[in-house]
Amino acid sequence: AAKKSDEEGAKPAASKKSDDGKSAEAAKSDDSKKPATLTIKVSPWAQVWVDGKSKGMTPLEPLQLKPGKHTVRLENKDLNVKRTETVTLKPGEEGELKIKLSQQ
């Protein structure tokens, strides 16, 4: 009888360990793929390009981007101003870029 209870006690412990290991690995891989969010606030306004792709005119909804380095280009034709910023975002990060444009 003692042998059976030892075996039964060992099995759940072993399965718990493997479940914990799998969920921890899944969490790590999910985090690295989790998109970052970038909010761009420009005063007075600007046309926005991220990595060469037009995103429209501010105000914009927060942008979902892949983690990493991104080039943000801002252009306000009324002020004759063009500006380029580089942002680096981590997985799941909520970044914000605040820019005040003025005539040069």
pLDDT at residue number 20: 46
In 3D space, the residue among 59, 50, 53 whose CA is nearest the CA of residue 87 turns out to be 50
CA–CA dist 83, 95 (Å, integer): 18
pLDDT at position 39 over 90:
yes
- What does the pLDDT look like over 50-61, one tens digit per residue? 999 999 999 999
pLDDT at residue number 103: 80
pTM: 0.69
Average pLDDT rounded to a whole number, residues 8-33: 51
pLDDT at residue number 33: 81
